[in-house]
Amino acid sequence: MRDMDYSGIDLGQIQTFLTVAQHENFSSAAEALCITQPVASKRVAALENRIGILLFIRWKRTIRLTPAGKILYSSWSKALQDFTEPINRAKNCQFGYGQPLVIGYYGSTFYYKVGASFQQNYPGTVISFIRLHPQDMKSALLSGQVDFVFYGSFAENDLNVSPLKCVNLATYDKELWCRAGNRFSQGEYVSMDELREENFVILDPYKHAAWAEQFNSMCSRAGFVPKIAASVDDILSLPMNLSTDDRIFIADGGVDINAGEYNLAKVKIANETSGTVLAWNSQHEKPEYFQFLDVSQKFFSNKYS
């Protein structure tokens, strides 16, 4: 195969592709990038045309990465991070800031609000967020790629190993998500025992082992083996796979999902709780760590007290 000329590709197109893949929605991605939806669509279309690869499967209002798109998403996410991180460090050096605090997270953009709260209290410290896959969080902390990670409490055992430290910031009810036509959609609470006949959409157990272990334990305590309708790679893909009223998924109470966009309802699950964990590497501690920990604890205490 002869070498292709990719000189027409720009970083804006790649960043738009990555953001659309994360949101699985052009409008949401455009809002995050502060551009219009048509501009986001044109950038992705131009990128697909330039490289000759279909990146997304588009059907009505939903989009999903193609197998080829998943390969590029994984590689380009890291490449863009490697490209922008030194620029941020150089800017911090030029304008007299110290090294930024790099925060890893998964699943919910809600954690940006914690960063905003920290910046209000400590404007001299720059915050940078990196979206990580759950299986990469431990290695990211150990290698120093990130300073902190936010994650669900079901992964606490994986992260609470020396030299890592881990603190539970909040505890809340597990939640069932379903379409508005589901028989449980109007209730306040539902028990796991009532869900034995439902069809579950779950996260891929091979890629989300800690989550799968907790989910299976919940079903086992209720005395049933769950019926699996579909498994997905990413938590943002869960709502898109509730294609029928009898499909449901279970998520932590702290997960930020745009229910209105998918016409979904959420119901608390009785006697099943989860939480948000903050972990860091004790070998890399510096004064800013304790400031960020303090702000995070106060933020979650105010939100869930």
pLDDT at 127: 86
Give the closest residue to 24 by CA, choosing from 72, 57, 71. Answer: 57
CB 149 within 8 A of CB 279: yes
Q: Which contiguous run of DSSP H or E holds residue 69? A: helix 67-94
* Whether pTM exceeds 0.95: no
Are the beta carbons of 159 and 279 closer than 8 angstroms?
Answer: yes
Q: Is the pLDDT of residue 131 over 60?
A: yes
Least confident of 180-184, 254-258, 269-273: 254-258
The CATH architecture to which 99-305 belongs is 3-Layer(aba) Sandwich (3.40)
Higher pLDDT residue, 51 or 109? 51
Q: What is the pLDDT of residues 188-208, one digit of tens each?
A: 999 999 999 999 999 888 888
- Asked if the peptide bond before residue 163 counts as cis, ω within 30 degrees of 0, the response is yes
Give the per-residue pLDDT at 108.
65
* Segment 206-222, tens digit of pLDDT: 888 888 888 999 999 99
The domain locations on the chain are: 1-96, 99-305
- Residue 7: what residue type? S
Residue 253: pLDDT band by 50, 70, 90 thresholds?
Answer: confident
Whose tokens are 């590689």? That residue is 75
Block residue for tokens 């998520």 = 251
Domains 1-96 and 99-305 fall in the same CATH topology = no
What radius of gyration do the chain's Cα atoms show? 20
Q: Which amino acid is at 143?
A: S
What span, in angstroms and rounded, lies between the C-alpha atoms of 293 and 285?
Answer: 11
Q: Is there a contact between 154 and 210 (Cβ–Cβ < 8 Å)?
A: yes
pLDDT at 237 over 90: no
Averaged pLDDT of the chain? 85
pLDDT in tens, 117-128: 998 888 878 888
pLDDT digits (tens, 9 = 90+) for 51-90: 999 999 887 777 889 999 989 988 888 888 778 767 766 7
Closest CA to 286 of 139, 93, 102: 102
pLDDT of 1 = 45
Domain 1-96 falls under CATH 3.40.30.10: no
SS3 294: helix
- Look up residue 2 and give its DSSP letter: P
